Amino acid sequence: MNWYQLLDLSAALLYFLGALFFLSSIPGTRHSLKLTSLLSTAGGFAIHSLNLGAKIAMDPLFTTSQAQFYVSLLAWMFIFLYLLLWWRLKLQFLGLTASSLAVILFCSSLTVSSASLQIPAKLSSLWFSLHIVTLFLSIGFLAMAFGAGLCYIYADKQIKKKARIGQFRKNIPALTSFDRVNHWAVSIGFPLFTIGVLSGFMWAGFTWGSIFSWDPKELFSVLVWILFAFLFHQRLALGWKGRKPALLAVWLFLFCLGSLLIINLFLPTHHSFRL
């Protein structure tokens, strides 16, 4: 086992412990477990960052041609945004989404580590970096909105049913807190997603001679952009709040996740993660 693999396993273990400790803290008021979860997740993030940075520094062209790198980078984005929003909004409940998805994606990245992407030399340019970073950041924001949306829908349903307030309900923040996460995710995530899609189309024109080739990934990206634009407009222009934007954010993230798992792995596309 080389030191890269040791770092991979250490990060995966700490992410797993972060998710486990957080799940264990939900039924009661064990704040020590939540703190342990945060520290474990932050420790995994630090090791994950070191690992990604070292791989890029050692051989940037080889590293960025591997499917494993991009799945791992997406997991890194989830944790980065979770820590950022936790620091800014102090919503520990987002840790359940971030740490759980990070475990799934990071472990998945290890299973596709041998997959090599056919990336032309032009794709290592600034356009490619802009395309990947902005899209992954926007998906990361959607992941946070997904977690907040699920919590909002659950809590709102319990309130409308006038269900008995148990220990779990006592630990759930106010609905306005989850709505703030949705506002942040939409306000920042949509412009980032737009930049990511546009830079991808412009770059495709330079690389393949056409900005749009009816690739399944391109078609799905346009569909997600339209839905995202609708949510952005309704949220900021018309003042949408509450259950509707929460529900739409949940579906948008599921569409993005389905795109990664289905289109990238099973359909013929320029973005294929298949061996």
Q: How far apart are alpha carbons 160 and 163 in whole angstroms?
A: 8
- Whole-angstrom distance, CA of residue 108 vs CA of residue 187: 30
- 201 class by beta-carbon count within 10 Å (0-12 exposed, 13-18 middle, 19+ buried): middle
Q: Look up tokens 């996740």; give the residue.
A: 257
Q: What is the pLDDT of residue 190?
A: 93
Tokens of 119: 């990336």
Q: Please give the pLDDT value at position 63.
A: 59
Q: Which residues pair with 66 in a beta bridge?
A: 116
> DSSP readout, the chain?
--HHHHHHHHHHHHHHHHHHHHHHHSSS--HHHHHHHHHHHHHHHHHHHHHHHHHHHH-HHHHTTBHHHHHHHHHHHHHHHHHHHHHHH--TTHHHHHHHHHHHHHHHHHHTTT-B----GGGGSHHHHHHHHHHHHHHHHHHHHHHHHHHHHHHHHHHHHT----HHHHTS--HHHHHHHHHHHHHHHHHHHHHHHHHHHHHHHHHHS-S----HHHHHHHHHHHHHHHHHHHHHTS---THHHHHHHHHHHHHHHHIIIIIHHHS--TT----
In the prediction, which pLDDT does 275 show? 44
275 residues of the chain, pLDDT tens digit each: 566 678 878 888 888 887 787 777 665 556 677 778 778 888 888 988 888 888 777 766 655 556 677 777 777 887 887 777 777 766 666 666 666 777 777 776 666 545 454 555 544 456 567 777 888 888 888 888 888 888 888 888 877 776 665 555 556 667 788 888 889 889 999 999 998 888 877 776 666 666 666 777 778 888 889 999 999 999 888 888 888 999 999 999 888 877 777 766 665 555 555 54
The domains of the chain are located at: 1-115, 118-275
pLDDT at res. 122:
47
